[in-house]
Amino acid sequence: VDLGLRYDDTSITPTGALPENDYNALGGHIVGSYHPDENSKLYLGIGRSSRVPDAKELYFQKAGKVLGTPNLDLVSNTEIDLGAKKQFENATVEAKVFYSMLGNFIFYNADKMTHRFENMDATIYGFELSGTYVATDSIYLDFGLAYQRGKKEHPLSGQSEINMPEIPPMKLTAAINYDYDATANLRAEVVAAHRWDNVDSENGEQLLAGWGIVNLKGRKTLYDALELTLGVDNLFDKTYAVSNTYQDLTLISGGTGEVMPMHEPGRYFYANLSYKF
C-alpha cells in the first residue's frame, strides 16, 4: 500500500482594482497492489488533486471586455484507477481503466459577452492497454492503445452540448524493434488516431479526420561515448492534426474568419549526435 497527503494554500494578488483570491485544498492518494502469483499484479488506486484558476481565467481582458471571471472556484479531481499486469514467457500485457470526477472544472463559454470562464462539474473515463512481445533474441514488438471520453454534468449557460473540449479520440501506437547488437537498433512505428467526432462545437471545436503515420528511427553507438540517431517522421507525408480548435486557445483564422486547425509537420528527416562522459 502506498499513501500520500498534500496540502496547498495559494494566494493571488493582482495589481490595480482587481479582486484578490485565496485557495486552499487537501489532496492525496492511496494505492493498493495484490500479486496473485509472481507473474501477475492487480492494483487499485484512489487519488484527489486540485488546481487553482490561472491569471487568464481570472483576469483576462481584451478590447475593453473583461473575459476572465474573478470569482472562479478551485478545480478538484477525484480519480479511481483499476489495473492489471501480466508477465508471460515472451510477452507482457498491462490494462488500466479510470474514472475521474472533476469538481468545478473551468470551461470557456463562447456565447457570453463577458466573464466567459465558468465552473461546471464533469467526468472523464477511459482505458489504457499496452504490451510487448519478444519474437526472437533481436526482434520485439510493443504497442499502446488509449481511449477517453469526457462529459459536462450540464450544458454551460446558454448552450446545449455536454461534450468536454480537448478530449482526443482513441489513439494506437504499434512498433517493431530490431536490435542488431548492443550498440545498434532500428525501430519502425505506426501511430494512428480515430476520427475526432466527440467535440464541443459550441465553443469552437470541429470534426477532424482520423489519421495514421509511419515513423522510422535508427540508433548507433560510436566509440562508446558517441551516439548517432537518424530518423524520418511521417514517412508518407500525411496531413493530420492532433489538436482541435477550442476557442480558449490562441488560434489562427483565415480571411473568412474561420478558425483553422494547426496541422502537424509533414515528412521530415532528423539526425542527432550526442556525447556522453
Q: What confidence tier does 252 reach under pLDDT thresholds 50, 70, 90?
A: low
Percent of the chain at pLDDT above 90? 88
Query: Does 54-275 carry CATH code 3.30.830.10?
Result: no
pLDDT tens per residue, range 47-80: 999 999 999 999 999 888 889 999 999 999 999 9
- Answer yes or no: are the C-beta atoms of 21 and 3 closer than 8 Å: no
For the chain, the domains span 54-275
When the pLDDT of each residue in the chain is averaged and rounded to a whole number, the result is 95
CA distance 195 to 207: 8
Tell me the whole-structure pTM to 2 decimals.
Answer: 0.89
Position 124 confidence tier, pLDDT thresholds 50, 70, 90: very high
Asked whether the beta carbons of 164 and 122 are under 8 A apart, the reply is: yes
Is 30:3 a contact under the CB 8 Å cutoff? yes
Q: pLDDT tens digits, residue range 138-162?
A: 999 999 999 999 999 999 999 999 9
Distance of CA 270 to the CA centre of its chain: 25
Nine-digit cell string for 58: 481570472
